[in-house]
Structure 1
Amino acid sequence: MEKGDERVEVLISDNDSTDNTSEVINNYIHNSYAINYVRNREDIGADRNFLQCFNSATGKYVLILGDDDILLDGAVGKILDILEKDNYGVVNLRSYGFVNDFISERPKGCGYLKGYDEYNDLDSFLIKVNYFLTFVSVNVINKSLVNDNLNLERFLETNLVHLGWTFSALFNSNKNIYVKEYLVAAKLYNSGGYRLCHVFGVNNNKIFDIFVSEYQINKKFFEIINKKMLLSFFPANIIRSRMNIISVKDEKPYNILFPLYKRYLYFWVFTFPAIVLPKRMAFFLFSIVDVLRKLLQFFLSLVDYMRAKLFMAKVIK
C-alpha cells in the first residue's frame, strides 16, 4: 500500500494497551501516515472494540485485523484490485497459522496458487470457507450491504459480534470471493480466557437462530458450518485444550455440545471421541484424520491449479 493511498482508511482502536502502542502509532502519524487513532480509556473487551472499529470505519469495505495477525506484503494492493472489480458481500482471505516466525513458518505446499474464486451461490461458498467466517481477520465485509435495521449490539458478549455484520453482508449479496493465495498470517494459540464450546457452540447457534427466525435465512446454510465445526474445529481445539496447547476456561464439552448436536452424526464420529477418549489416543487419531484431510485439500488444490494452467494454455493458443 502506498503511503498516501486515499482508497484506504487505517483506523487503530487501542484497547487501553499497556505496551508502547501509543508511542509507535504516534511516530507513524508524525511521519505523515494517515492514521485514525483511538485509544480507549479502559479495556472495553474484544467485542466492543471490534464493534467500535466497524462503526467508525467510513469505507465501503471493512477489514478488522487482530493485533497479532499480519497482512502479508502486497496483500492490501491485491485486495483493492479485487474490490474494484465488482460489488461483493464477503471476501475471504486465505491464511496460515504461525507460532513464532510468520516468514519461516509459511507453508511450502500450495503456495503457488494465485488469484481468487468468485461464488454466485451461498452453498458452495460456505462449503469452502465455513467456520473461517468466525475469524475476523480474514473477512473483508461490504459495509454497505449490512442491514440498516440490524442492531449489532445484541451480539455483544458473545465473542462473535462480528458475525452480525458478516452474515448480514453475506446473505444480502449474490457474489462472494475466496482468495486462493496466502494474504494473512494468523498467530496461533494466542487467545484464551473464554469458554471454547460455549462460544462456538451455544453463542454461535444463537446467532444462527437470529438470522433464521428474524431474517428468514435458510437453516441449511448454518448446517454447513455446524458440520464443519464438528468435523474439525471442535475435535482439534478440544484436544488442544486437553493437551494444554491452548488456554481456555474450564468447561464440560459434552454437557454443552450434546444438547446442540446430538442429532448430528459428525458429533458422534469426530467430536465425541475427542471428548471421551484418553487424550493421547484422541490426539493420535485426530492427527491421522487431519493428515488425510490435508492430503485431500492438497490434491484438490493441485487439481484446481492444473485446471487453471490448462485454461491459460487454451487462452494463449
Structure 2
Amino acid sequence: MSAPRISFEFFPPKTLDASFRLWETTRMLAPLRPDFVSVTYGAGGTTRQLTHEAVTTIGRSFGLNVAAHLTCVDASRAETLEIARAYAAAGVSEIVALRGDPPKGQGKFRPREDGFANALELIAALKDEGDFTLRVGAYPERHPESGDADADIAWLKRKFEAGADSAITQFFFEAETFLRFRDKAQKAGIDGDKILPGIIPIENWHGIRRFAQATGATVPGWMDDAFEKAARDGREQLLATALCTELCDGLLSEGVDALHFYTLNHAHLTRDVCYALGVKPAVALQNVA
C-alpha cells in the first residue's frame, strides 16, 4: 500500500506562546510535504485578521500551499469578497468556504441582510470571483442543524454543483462512519474521491471527547474504557498513536488515498501517525526565516 496524500489544519494563534507553538508545529510538519494546509477562521469572524496573517506567513516562510478558511459570519458580501481578493493578491489560491459558526452566545446562525445566507451563496460568489480551488465542509454524521443524513448528502451535492472542488469531513472515530458516508455520497452522484476524511489525533481524550459532543460526533463507548485503562498505565500517547494509525489504515485499505489531519497546533502525534503510514520527510527544512 502506497503512502497516502496528506493535508493539515492549523488555527491562528491569539497569544505569543500560541504563535511559537504554531511556528514549531508547521516547522515539524512541513517536511512531510502536504498537499495543502488550512488555517481556520474563528467563530463570528473573531480571528479574521489573525487568519490572514497566519495564512500569508506560513505560505511565505515554509513554501506550503495554504488554504484560508472563509465564512459567511458577521460580514457583508462586499467585505467577504474583499477578503478573498486580498488572499488572491497575496498568492493564496485555495479557500475553505464555510457557512461558519455563529458568534458566541448567539445560539443560531443569523445571516446579515447584506451578507451571504449560506455556504452555497459563498461558493458560487467565490467561483465567479476568480480562479480559486474551493474546499467545503461535509458531515459523515448528521449535522446538528440537519433533519437527517440524507439532507446532509443532498446539501453536499448542491455545494459541488455550486462550484466546490473537494470536501473535508468533520472528524470521526471509526472508519466505517466515513465509508458509509462516502458510499451514500457516491450513490447520490458525488465523486467519493473528492471527499477527504477529517482525522483528529487524540492529544487529550477528555478535551477531544467534549469537542466531539459539541459537534455531534459519535463517541464509541469502548474508547472511554480504553483511555481510562491507558491513563492508569501512563500509555495515553501510545494508545492515541495506535488508534489513529489503525483508523487511517482502515480507510486506506478501502481505497481512500488522502487524509486531512486536524492538528490542533500539535505536531508530534500527527507526525508519528504519518510516519507509521509511510509518509516520510522529503527534505529537512533549515534556516527558515
- Give the TM-score normalised by structure 1: 0.29
Select the structure that is richer in helix: 1
Higher relative contact order, chain-length normalized (CA < 8 Å, sep 6+)? 2
- Give the TM-score normalised by structure 2: 0.31
Larger Rg belongs to: 1
